[in-house]
Structure 1
């Protein structure tokens, strides 16, 4: 994603101690990278020339099964961010550029990774994969990776794979499931997911465990669950919706992609359950929701960065919207994830200083203990968050706070749900997993 999308999308700081002379900020608001003539001779570091720092993108373009833009939008976000930084000199006097784009075609991520490793002409790789079979190869080759973090298992324990969020355990409870149900005044919950090993199948179990853990405080219960749905729902969901109707379900949580949630909503409408809200883990796609008309009316969607609907006068969200517009692009979830990843790559370069290489950039990034991309995300401590937290110990390798942003669909548009436009995140203490009401929060 979770965070949450990691469970559903697979087929899903102050710098500690010493920030070198280049200066850096953990929040992503750093100084510009213009430092005069580049001190590191070109050719000594892969992908670094006298005028450029070159990056690869390895992502799913063709054969994309999830119904949303991945590779194209991710790359747009990266390049919009690079345009922003290059306008003030790039990093250490060099422009930041994407020079290699590899479409993994869903099932050829490893082949794409080996192509990048063999060429050895880019400094680092941005990734967004449904099947990240090449991430370990890039990791072993010492190539830094900045990825759309829906593949938590492939990130866990690897200190040179950074994401738009930190990796988190797939078996841990998530307060947002109970919170959204509480806000919707729902107590009879259904959970549905694909019969795909790993994150998708575990998603239903996580929902079930969460609702049961907090049932004493919320009065909620799981009255229907199904983690045996065929991917893509080729046989429809008629019997399942009939079973939910018989069980008196008053909210549905779906571990599906956009197309799966649409199929489910259409069948619920057909069977007279159009007024039963759904909680989506993936559907933050403005064009998709607008095209659906009133199909998703009243549904709630998780967002893992500061939503576009929040106030945006300053900080990372303002720069993202400004430079996305200048690039002629629309704001998208994948585009924002690309922007966040590009910011982390840039901040790591600055933190490493002008005589940087891959190892020093990885080391400098792993000294960041409060990275929030200019207020866009729940702050990450990269010195300890490459490892999964656990159900019994959410704190040692987890976030300081458990935070999510939510939007509700009204008239084919999103509006802030739970939080406020100024403070769109809702956050809980993360020392333990006890139940409490969250606090509206803003970062940056």
Structure 2
């Protein structure tokens, strides 16, 4: 992946059982001091504090889409500290902006690890690839947004989701009446084309017809042209591997042309801010969701909202996709710290979290095994749809899986 890569290709992007816990070396079993007073000399760990690094594309192409991520980190860490910290230690973090650049990603991660001596990293970026090998060699725990293929090659790197299952998305299109699918992509980068190919193969495997794959560039093609392509293909369904603003323009042109589109799915854009900016133009568009939908409510979602409102009030709106992603990654990191014991080491953290076979973030996601999910896409998703007025998301499928099962 090239430096400066955009989050536009994000597919986008949704209780613990432990086989064993390692890494308590460095503390004497005879040490009777309280956990809060134990200094174990691991990087980023003092007697009363554990310091993490948070890497995010806070500038550069696509930064606006990730802007809510810091709120999710603030909310979950604030909640943890309010409840006493982890093993009596207060959790803090250092933020680093990689600018969406692969080279800058290497620079900022090493600055956090070496100069700031953080214990591990939480990441919401698509520019981590060139830093992965070195972080693995240094045994630095990394938890975050796994949209780069290298994640699956490094045991120190964790995520609850490795993207939507093309099979599951295909099943949804089929279940909502789609038979001939037009795929729109923003750009023609190799990663985008490879992603589109996965969807083409998945659709064909369940009997859908792929009417065509259309790269769309708003600078050179009009939305009316895109609608003409759809009409010429006789497509009745749309899959958007594109930016929400590109899709909004295309859907508006589709409506103006009175095309009969039975199903339209976008892989990214599940965010209340989207409704304010372009909701009516995206009416009827569906989105796969990798966590419990905001609209589904429940105790876990209530806890998330309280944390956001209390510890990240600047967010204004808790129902933001990347705020939730960052909240989940932070929750995962806190779980690893708990399991690593009162004297956590990086190696002990990695071993302990990798042994977890049923993590659900307190009910925010379907249970996932960190032992078995490496590199595998999420096979079951919820689906939400923008209502006809373009003013709200509605849950249309609580769960749909790649094999067609679900509710």
TM-score of the superposed pair, with normalisation by structure 1: 0.79
What's the secondary structure of 1:370's corresponding residue?
Answer: coil
**In the alignment, which residue of structure 1 is the partner of 2:366?**
378
The match for 2:105 among 106, 109, 125 is 109
Alignment of 1:220-369 (within 5 A): 220-226=208-214, 228-230=215-217, 234-273=220-259, 277-312=263-298, 314=299, 316-327=300-311, 328=313, 329=315, 330-331=317-318, 332-369=320-357
**In the alignment, which residue of structure 1 is the partner of 2:44?**
47
What's the secondary structure of 1:292's corresponding residue?
Answer: helix
The match for 2:17 among 15, 20, 26 is 15
Matched, 1:415 2:399: no
What's the secondary structure of 2:245's corresponding residue?
Answer: helix
Which deviations, in whole Å up to 9, do the C-alpha atoms of 1:376-419 show, x marking residues without a partner?
22322112322x35xxxxxxxx76xx21011010122101012x
Q: 1:19·1:351 contact (CA, 8 Å) conserved in 2?
A: yes
What's the secondary structure of 2:287's corresponding residue?
Answer: strand
**In the alignment, which residue of structure 1 is the partner of 2:204?**
212
Q: 2:160·2:368 contact (CA, 8 Å) conserved in 1?
A: no
Root mean square deviation, CA, Å: 2.9
Matched, 1:439 2:406: yes
Q: 1:91·1:349 contact (CA, 8 Å) conserved in 2?
A: yes
Cα separation, partners in 2 of 1:408 and 1:38, compared to 1, 3 Å: same
- Equivalenced residue count is 384
**In the alignment, which residue of structure 2 is the partner of 1:26?**
none
Shift of 1:213: 0.7
Q: 1:7·1:199 contact (CA, 8 Å) conserved in 2?
A: no
Which stretch shifts more, 54-63 or 270-279? 270-279
Which deviations, in whole Å up to 9, do the C-alpha atoms of 1:331-355 show, x marking residues without a partner?
2111111111111111111111112
Q: 1:113·1:137 contact (CA, 8 Å) conserved in 2?
A: no
Shift of 1:184: 2.4
What's the secondary structure of 2:62's corresponding residue?
Answer: coil
Shift of 1:196: 4.0
Cα separation, partners in 2 of 1:407 and 1:348, compared to 1, 3 Å: same
Structure 1: how far apart are the matches of 2:296 and 2:12?
Answer: 31
Matched, 1:94 2:89: yes
The match for 1:121 among 117, 121, 141 is 117
**Runs of 4+ with >6 A deviation:** 10-13
Structure 1: how far apart are the matches of 2:393 and 2:160?
Answer: 22
Any gaps of 5 or more consecutive residues in structure 2? 1-6, 25-32
**In the alignment, which residue of structure 1 is the partner of 2:80?**
85
Shift of 1:363: 0.8
Shift of 1:307: 0.7
Structure 2: how far apart are the matches of 1:67 and 1:235?
Answer: 24
Any gaps of 5 or more consecutive residues in structure 1? 1-5, 23-34, 390-397, 419-423, 429-434
What's the secondary structure of 1:122's corresponding residue?
Answer: coil
TM-score of the superposed pair, with normalisation by structure 2: 0.85
Cα separation, partners in 2 of 1:261 and 1:110, compared to 1, 3 Å: farther
Q: 1:11·1:131 contact (CA, 8 Å) conserved in 2?
A: no
**In the alignment, which residue of structure 2 is the partner of 1:393?**
none
What's the secondary structure of 2:275's corresponding residue?
Answer: helix
Cα separation, partners in 2 of 1:21 and 1:56, compared to 1, 3 Å: closer
* Bigger relative CO (Cα 8 Å, ≥ 6 apart): 2
What's the secondary structure of 1:156's corresponding residue?
Answer: helix
Which stretch shifts more, 362-371 or 44-53? 44-53
